[in-house]
Every structure is written in structure tokens, then in C-alpha cells.
Chains A and B, each alone.
Chain A
Amino acid sequence: MFEARLVQGGLLKKVLDSIKDLVTDANFDCSPNGFSLQAMDSSHVSLVALLLRSDGFDHYRADRPISMGMNLNNMAKMLKCAGNDDIITMKAEDAGDTVTFMFESPNQERISDFELKLMDIDSEQLGIPDTDYAATVKMPASEFQRICKDLASIGDTVLISVTKDGVKFSTTGDIGSANITCRQNTSVDKPEEQTTIELNEPVCLSFALRYLNSFAKATPLSHTVTLSMSKELPVVVEYRIGDLGHIRFYLAPKIEDEEMEDEA
């Protein structure tokens, strides 16, 4: 038996909206620790890791670990029917082949039940090692979203370079080029508007903007975003979800190809 009740049901809606374009089918793991998911896009370039800790829920019960396969678009369709202020409860029987989403309006006047058919999915998982990253940038999520959106109109690849002074996003396309630098800025009163950089070593990596823009759909979940980078490693784009947990996106960098011979 699995049951989880979330008063801030809107969070679950936002989580789904941020991953459903990246991944079509995924297994949700319900364990005593919490509600989690790891999934890759079909080209294996990006990975999403979601964790909603059990103690962040208002009520949480998972008798034994189960893994529920869902089509994320179908799940999103059902969650769309929940109001933003609704309380959402998820329920599944151990041997069942459905999951139930119950939506309660804040004043308890409207209660809806949506039952989603589960699927048996073989999902491919990666073991992600713990890493001390060379550079960690924390910045306003809306700022990161704007940069990715603006640069995507110029080019398709962004070069992210982090130095102790700031983080620079650069792109080049057919019509020209663009550079946006965000300086380290800790003077602002509100912590969520600060840009902070922890740096062991300057880093410079290239990424496909298409994926970063897809990750930025998680912006409504959090005021700040953290980018963690190391030389020749995938970037981690992390959004904290209040006290509940986090959603992390991993993206493989673009690399130079040695087998392509250059013009002689």
C-alpha cells in the first residue's frame, strides 16, 4: 500500500510540467524514504532525477518499495485537472495496476478521484557518482531561464565559462553572436536574488540550449537554480523544491570529435 498526501498539490503539477517534455514514460519509485524518479531522454543526453522526501509530505505511507510505470503525458493530463491550491493524494495498492490521484479543494467542497492505468516499463538507469564539482553557481532561476531563452534565439549551443568573478554564457549562430555575463553578487538583501559562485578551478563547457530550455521549465518550482560543473563532466542543474526535495537535471556536454579530419 502506498499513500502520499501533499497539501501544496500545485508543486506536483509543476514537477510534471517540467519533465514531461523530456521523458515520455518513467518509473516512479515509492519507498519509505520518499517518492523518486530517475529517467533519461531517448537519446541518453539528459537525465532527470526527482526526489520528494517522505517527511516533506503531510502524510506518507509506503509499506514496501514499489515502482510504478507511468506515461508522463497521461499523468500530466490528470494533474492538470487539479486546481493550483488543491490538496493532492496519491494512492496505490501493492498488487494493483492503477494509481489514484485524489484532489481536494482547499475548502473541501470539491473532491475528485482520477485513476491512472499503470504500465510495466523497462527504464534505463545510470549510477551517478558523488562528485565534488569544480564550480558551483547559484543564481535566480528566472535569470537562468531568461538567458537560455534569449541565447536560443541566436544559436543552438551555449558555452558556459565560470571564473571567480562571474559566469559567462556565450553563443554563436548564423546571424551573429551573444555573450551574457552574470557577476558574483552577494550584496542584495534578498538571498534568492543573489548570484554566488563557489570555485575550485575555472570551468568552460558547451551544452545544447534545447535541453537547458527544457530544464528551465522547472523555474516555477524554485527561486534559485544551482549549476554544478566540472571539466569533462555533465552539468547538474538543480532546483530545490521547498522542504520537500529537489529536481536535478544532468546534461552531457558537447565534445570535440577526433575522428573527423579537418580540412587539409
Chain B
Amino acid sequence: MGIKGLSKLLGDNAPQSFREQKFENYFGRKLAIDASVHIYQFLVVVGRTGDQMLTSETGEVTSHLQGMFFRTARMLEAGMKPVYVFDGKPPALKQEELARRSERRGDAVENLADAKETGEEADVAKYSKRTVKVTRQHNEECRRLLQLMGVPVVEAPSEAEAQCAAMCKEGLVYAMASEDMDSLTFAAPRLTRNLMAPASQKLPVNEYEYAKVLEGLNLTAEQFIDLCILCGCDYCGSIRGIGPTRALQMIQKHGGLEDVLAALDKTKYDIPDPFPYQQARQLFTEPEVLRAEQLAPLKWSPPDLEGIVKFLVEEKNFNEDRVRKAVDRINASRSKSTQGRLESFFGPSTVKSSTQGKRKDPPTGKGKQGGKRGGKAGGVSKRK
């Protein structure tokens, strides 16, 4: 999923491109959430022991609803405004990758059967996780739940990440939330990861800034897409023996994917055939998305308590007390006014770096220090 090794590559080469944020700090922010990735995650982890998942009395899986309900409730409680984006039809180029995934799932089913026979519990859990597939019913149930919770839902014509990224670019939302790094390949200005992680894990949210990614890697937007394709994306195969670090070096050296491929020693590296990098590139630059004016205005309405209770408690056997309390907390948070931010009054902030002292992380480009510090000094003297 996503781009192979990109998060590590950014950690090593562009540490300034992301930073840790507190979950609570996203109050009042609109966030486009890639629903499919998160539903998949819920099915993999929520309430799982071995190959047993949360189920209702009738044996239907409810892990996805459990995750969707309580984590969305947590966001609403903190004053965030999530909008969920569901996948549409996958692009034709992704069929091969999807077939591969389906094949892996098939293998996992066999392995799971073997593991159950031998009784290896660790293996049972491992392979059972790999058999997880998000079905149409899972998606339908999540949509129904979100509607009851008053949370807007957007149906992407194709890839959800691309749609989220487009909404972020157009300023409809502050950031997008996904775990897939290819969101950055779609040039989402701001990507958050771990936003939907359970509160109990106490994981800080990682916020990536696209502009700083390009700055840190010293690449143009086009080169960054080429880098992602070279690392290995969902749309075309990857070249054996070329990892993220090699890929970055080569793009920096040669400038573009065509020149990299031309310079590549064909005796050492096998370029997969077909290698439809041009089409992949086009999918990243011109993905099939709905534009702002094609979308219904985003509105967050009050949760339908009785509807939620009927669905989750009566149909899916959730604990009524917990469900009602969560809805109460959402309502309590809705009744409060929203905390403003200073930027909305004083304009965007500028970054000023220290002149002395050691940086905890490796330094980035030096150019940005001078000018902005001058601006600040002026501000101080004016206020006296």
C-alpha cells in the first residue's frame, strides 16, 4: 500500500517535513479522512484475539463499526470536523496490484488453515489479519453509521486519497488523514498520520507538509512523483534492487524518470515489462476527482441518538450505556463555542530559527533564516 519506504526516506532526508502534533490541537479543523484505509485497519486490529473478531449475536463482524463509532466520536468530542471519503472505482492500472493483493489473501487463507491445524496461535493471528478484506457491506454499514452521527461523507469517483488531497488543495479541509503515504504523491498540502490511532496507544499525530517535503528532498513536484513511482507505487511494478535511497539519488542526479531509465544499466537491473510509468504519472497529476463545486457543502449535523442506538445496540449488540455516553459527549462538545486560533486574527505565522545552539535533527536548507528574522526584529521594535 502506498509508496514503499517513503516515510523512512523522509525521516532520513527531510526531517523538517513532518512534526508531531497533539491530537487535541486539531480542534475546529476540518479533516478529510480516507475511509477505506481506516476501515481496513479497524478490521485488522479492533477487538481482535487470534482469528476472532468482534461480532454481533448473529455472528456478523462489527470491528469496523466499533472502530468507526468510537474514534469518530473522539474526534467530534475534541471539536474536529471530519469528512469521510470513500473509494470509488479503482483505476485500471491498479488492477494488477489488486490482483496481487487478492492472491496474497488467498495464500493467507491457506496458511491460516495450516496454522489452525498446528495450533500456532501467533501464526493464526498473523495469517488471519492478512485475510482481511473490506467488503461492500462493511462500507455500507460505516456510511449508515456516519450519516446517523451527522458526519458528512464524500464518494470519490476513484481513489479516496486523491479526492482527499484535492479537497485539501482547494482549501475545503485543513488536512487529510490517511496512513498511506501516496497521499503526498497526490500533492496533499497536509497529511496527518495516526490521527485515528486509539487514544490508549498515546501515539502523537504526525503531520507532513508537502511543501517542506519537496524542500527537504530538494525536488520539484514532478520529480517527487517520479521518485514515488521509482520507489514502488500501486500503479506500476518496481525495479528490483532499487530502494528509496537509491531512487532519490538517481532522481536528484538525472532529474527525471526518463533519464534515470536511460542511464540504468540494463544488465544489472530488470525494468518490469510493462512499466507504465507515464500513465502512473498521469494518475498522480490528474487523478479522477470531484472538484469543490461538484461537492455538496460540508455540514455537520447533530447525531441521531435513537437511530444510533437502534443500529448499534439493537442490530449489532453494542453496549447501550457506552453508546449513549459517547453520543452525550458529542452533544456536549457541539453545544460549546469553538476556540479560535491566533492566526485567524493576526495572519499566518513565519518561522524564525535560533542563531545559536545545536539542532536536535540534521539541519535543512539555510536560506530561510536571514530574511524572516529581520521581519521579526522589526515587529518587536514597533510594539515598544
Contacts and interface: CB of A to CB of B under 8 A. Distances in A.
Interface of A: 27, 29, 31, 33, 36, 38, 40, 42-47, 49, 51, 53, 65-69, 92, 95-97, 117-130, 157, 206, 208, 232-234, 250, 252-257, 259-264
Given A38-B376, A260-B300, A118 B340 contact: no
Interface stretch (B163-171, B282-290, B350-358): B350-358
A96 B346 contact: no
A45 B339 contact: yes
Contacts of A129: 346
Given A66-B355, A97-B357, 19 more contacts: A27-B352, A31-B380, A42-B21, A44-B341, A49-B383, A51-B384, A53-B384, A67-B352, A69-B354, A119-B354, A120-B359, A122-B353, A127-B350, A232-B345, A253-B340, A255-B339, A257-B338, A259-B298, A259-B300
A157 B333 CA distance: 13
B359 to A, nearest CB: 4
Contacts of B298: 259
B59 interface: no
A136 B36 CA distance: 52
A125 B337 contact: no
A254 B352 contact: no
A123 B369 CA distance: 11
A139 B231 CA distance: 63
Given A31-B377, A66-B355, A233 B345 contact: yes
Interface in B88-127: none
Nearest to A26: B354
Contacts of B150: 261
Contacts of B375: 125, 127
A127 B346 contact: yes
Looking at chain B, what size class is its interface with the partner chain? 35 or more
B358 A118 contact: yes
Contacts of A127: 346-347, 350, 375, 379
B295 interface: no
Contacts of B81: 259
B340 A255 contact: yes
B301 A261 contact: yes
A117 B360 CA distance: 12
B267 interface: no
B247 to A, nearest CB: 28
Contacts of A130: 382-383
A126 B28 CA distance: 20
B380 A33 contact: yes
B174 interface: no
Given A43-B22, A120-B363, A253-B340, A262 B356 contact: no
Contacts of B336: 157, 254
B299 interface: yes
B294 interface: no
Nearest to B336: A157
A130 B357 CA distance: 32
B343 interface: yes
Contacts of B337: 157, 206, 254-257
10 contacts: A29-B377, A29-B380, A38-B379, A51-B380, A120-B358, A120-B363, A125-B379, A127-B375, A128-B346, A256-B337
A223 B337 CA distance: 33
Contacts of B356: 66-69, 92, 95-97, 118, 120
Contacts of A38: 376, 379-380
A162 to B, nearest CB: 19
A186 B383 CA distance: 28
A33 B376 CA distance: 13
Contacts of B359: 119-120
B302 interface: yes
